[in-house]
Amino acid sequence: MASELARAPLGKITKRTAIAFEDLGGSPSGYKAVKFASDFALREGVTETVTLTFEDGEWRTVGYFIS
């Protein structure tokens, strides 16, 4: 999974807290973004953003960003 490759250089996750939820509009069922305040073994104070869409009766990840 692409998100695992993006996180690998940061080491193991040590803390993750959801801090924001956002409706983004878009496709017929829309998109949602969830932001997390995260700490990793090799980097603290990271913001992870996961973008989701609802397809075939379930939420699927369509984007993952680290800042």
**Which amino acid is it at 42?**
L
Residue-level pLDDT at 49 = 96
SS3 label, residue 39: strand
Residue-level pLDDT at 2 = 64
Tens-digit pLDDT profile for the chain (67 aa)?
666 777 788 899 999 999 999 998 877 778 999 999 999 999 999 999 999 998 888 999 999 999 9
Residue-level pLDDT at 50 = 95
pTM: 0.82
Return the closest-CA partner of residue 48 out of 10, 30, 1.
Answer: 10
Residue-level pLDDT at 3 = 67
Residue-level pLDDT at 53 = 92
